A = this chain, B = another copy of it.
């Protein structure tokens, strides 16, 4: 999670939104990225989607079974569903979707646990890890003059 936080901080400095993600398998980092929606002008390029794409490419598979995804913020329903499709075993997150919504992002505020229950996903979910440090990213981002929401 600390690597994901570092990536998010790097993204903020580059004008991106305050979200970082790290995917690991067998204790090794597979991908570690930040959100690049503005960099790529691609609304789907959330940190989780970007990290999953990188991981698929690196491992040459669409099946990320056994992988853990660390996200500085609870994955939105798009990203939660991408984790499910990728068969990621565990989601570990810091802040909550509701925290991101308060920044002005047009979040679908459906918690991961609700998505899991409704969809019958086997994915394990562990929230509120390094919450304070992850929330600090939002403060750091908010202090930037050029912050842009979507």
Q: Is A14 an interface residue (CB 8 A)?
A: no
Count copies of this chain in the complex: 2
Residues of B within 8 A of A120 (CB): 108-109
Residues of B within 8 A of A64 (CB): 43
CB pair B115 A119 closer than 8 Å: no
**Nearest-neighbor residue (CB-CB) of A118 within chain B:** B110
Per the bound structure, the CA–CA distance linking A53 and B36 in Å amounts to 13
| Contact among B42, B52, B81, B106 for A53, CB-based, below 8 A | B42
A53 with B44: in contact, given A114-B118, A118-B108, A119-B110 (CB under 8 Å)?
yes
Q: Looking at the assembled complex, report how far the CB atom of A118 sits from the nearest CB atom of chain B, in whole angstroms.
A: 5
Q: Looking at the assembled complex, report how far the CB atom of A33 sits from the nearest CB atom of chain B, in whole angstroms.
A: 13
